[in-house]
Amino acid sequence: MNRLFVPALIAVLVLMPAIVHDAYVLHVAIVIGINVVMAVSMWLLGITGLISFGQAGFMFIGAMTTALLTKNLHWPFWVALPLSAVIPGLIAAPVGRLSLRVKGVYFFLVTLAFGQVVAGVFAYFEDPFGGWYGIRNIPPPQPATLFSTLNKVPFYYLSLGLVLLTCWVIHRISRSWFGNVLWSIRESDLLASSIGVNVQGSKLIAFIVSAFFAGAAGSVYAGYFGYISPLVFTFEYSVNILVFIVVGGFASMAGPIVGALVLTIVPEAFRVTGKYQMMAFGLILVFSMLLMPQGIIGAWQRLAVRRAFGRRIARQGGR
């Protein structure tokens, strides 16, 4: 059943625009896709025991790269997209070497400082970064007649394609020998180092891959919304990404996916409540932490184990 679930889910997602014609629903689905990419990319760091508050900074770099290349240099979006992923990855290499020298709260602070520096630099230089007002009228992907503001379907498939690519790559990494190395580092980096694991090098690779996909998400964001600003890619957004993972659960990659899905839909569902929107969001978050400390996926797995155990006891009792 598990083997059929993922292909069936992908088929439903591919066919969704043929079933759902509401532009607002497709817009929410696009935002969910961007949030899923960000959450999954941070989850890769999480399996090494690292939490970065600089993810929004790498996303901003990717979005800014796309904006500058497509609007100022008139490059095609399809050329800007891979470059917008590569450049944050390249920047992540020296940033990671510096930040990974420290651990715990100090690592949080270093990555937080990086995100603030990125936003500050882009905000200070109005030319070419647009200052606090950001950059508007970023060209959409080509052809422009297809990727228009009135047609959400192409953007939906662009977002879905990035989600599938990100999840496939990171899933393969997490299940590979390198993924086992990352899990072992999370359990004990000293123990992993004692058996010959290059702890710093492994963490750096995970940091770079995470920044790569964050930059790609930023590129899609810029191409879809046509506007970027330091006021969008803030520290709070990095915190929200972490919340997606915590609410969904760290145990598997399904956690950040479910967390991003639920916590993107919930604020939208309570949008009609106006000023009570964030209050409702906060209450749901608090109750989820109290009732499901291992996240939604962790709670689901425990429930499945209890049901399987109950069925086994029932079968033994009927004999």
Q: Say if residue 309's pLDDT is above 70.
A: no
Do the domain assignments include residue 310? no
What is the pLDDT at residue 266?
80
The C-alpha atoms of residue 159 and residue 147 are separated, in whole angstroms, by 12
What pTM was computed for the model? 0.90
What is the pLDDT at residue 1?
43
Do the domain assignments include residue 15? no
Query: With pLDDT > 90 as the criterion, what percentage of the chain qualifies?
Result: 50
Residues in the chain, total: 319
pLDDT band per the 50, 70, 90 thresholds, residue 159: very high
Q: Say if residue 16's pLDDT is above 80.
A: yes
Cβ proximity of 17 and 155 under 8 Å = no
Residues 119-154 as b or e (16 or more Cβ within 10 Å = b) = beebbeeeeebbeeebbeebbbbeeeeebeeeebeb
The C-alpha atoms of residue 56 and residue 205 are separated, in whole angstroms, by 19
Do the domain assignments include residue 30? yes
Mean pLDDT of the chain: 87
Do the domain assignments include residue 129? yes
Do the domain assignments include residue 301? no
Span 101-119, pLDDT tens digits: 888 788 888 999 999 999 9
The residues facing 50 across adjacent strands are: none
The C-alpha atoms of residue 82 and residue 90 are separated, in whole angstroms, by 12
Do the domain assignments include residue 318? no
Q: Say if residue 290's pLDDT is above 80.
A: no
Do the domain assignments include residue 65? yes
pLDDT band per the 50, 70, 90 thresholds, residue 49: confident
| Domain housing 121 | 22-234
Structure tokens at 285: 């978050």
Tell me how many domains the chain contains: 1
Q: Say if residue 312's pLDDT is above 70.
A: no
What is the pLDDT at residue 101?
87
Number of Cα atoms under 13 Å in the Cβ half of residue 104: 1
Span 80-101, pLDDT tens digits: 999 999 999 999 999 999 998 8
Do the domain assignments include residue 64? yes
What is the pLDDT at residue 316?
65
What is the pLDDT at residue 209?
96
Span 177-210, pLDDT tens digits: 998 999 888 888 888 888 888 888 999 999 999 9
Amino acid letter at 121?
Answer: V
Cα 227 to Cα 3, 80, 129, 232, distances in angstroms = 40, 16, 12, 9
